[in-house]
Chain A
Amino acid sequence: MTDLTITRSFPLPPEKVFDFVTRRERLLDWWGPEGMTVRDERLDFSAEGPWHSVIVNADGRRFKVSGRVVEVSPPQAVEFTWGWHDETDARGPESRVRIELRPEGAGTRFVLRHTGLADDESRDNHEQGWTSSLAKLERLAR
């Protein structure tokens, strides 16, 4: 299993940042990489319960992920489970995302931990060959 930690500093106070990372209308402003469109979603991390999102890239490929919101502690933390669906809509291995916010001056220290990821995630570090091959395949497939 592999864990992923991303830390950022944001200029707004935790209360505001918490809104951005939990409320649906805020989430829709930033969810998913640039160039991807959220097509179908139940994207609300402000209350416990199920969530899902389908994002579509420029080539029309669909990426679906779903899970459950398991903790909402404003304005410090939110935690939800995470599982990609494959093309037959079967849900893959489950991982877990926890976002923690701490005051930092007038702003916020933002820490995202994505834990319990399958080991294939470690290709980021030591399987560059595969990654570039796949990128090449993807370019050709467009």
Chain B
Amino acid sequence: MPRLSSQRALRLFGALVVTAILGFLLLPAIVVALAAFNGRAILSFPPDTWSWRWFAKALAYEDFRAGLRNGLIVTGWTSAIALAVGAGFAFVLDRYEFRFKGILETILLSPLVIAHFTVGLGFLILAAQLGVTRGYAVVVVTHVVLVLPFVLRSVYVSLRNLDRRLELAAASLGAPPARVLATITLPLLLPGLVSGWLFAAILSFNEFTASLFVTVQRTQTLPVAMYNYVREYADPSMAAISVIYIVATAALLTFATLFLGLGKVLNVEQAR
């Protein structure tokens, strides 16, 4: 029996450690929510009075509104382009052998380890050298390069899990390649494609460091506007907008976990 009780002690200890780590992960979100509903302009814990006014102020702030508008434009273009490019490349990566395949893959995955400030600085200098004015296009190209590895990975994992026999069956029944792709491959890949698009959209909408280099006042995205706000003001408007951000992101990811099998896309499900 001593064996069993020591196992139980170990399990209890493990549960405590995991709870503490989850607490560490959640702490900033909880604290920022407390700050957002604080009635006064100066932080105090716990708040003496409660109010919604910082949410109203944040939503009315012109820089945040413009940032949201610009962010949605950039995110819309980035996620669509990255999905098309990433899904196509994941397909050929999974199916074919061709020259420079390994090199091309390495280059496209390299933004995972290249610092974002280096990529941002690079596109800033490149735009200047080519004489391109810094509009949305420069921001979108930068974001596409940065989010592409994530799209590539999630579509690639789905392709690996796809049953090729279904495609062969369709082809053997006379469907030309384009029809097989449209009626068999794409529908089967849908969860991978949707989560790839979701990754691209969320990461592009939140990208900050490279955006700081390549945006100008006119194309400033929301994270850049928030950064400038934090540097200049100390009122809890920023806490309010952070709460909106955290709730929206957690909701999207919960949706992805429950309906798209996020665990499978991230490859963290126990293999039997």
Q: Tell whether A pairs with B.
A: no
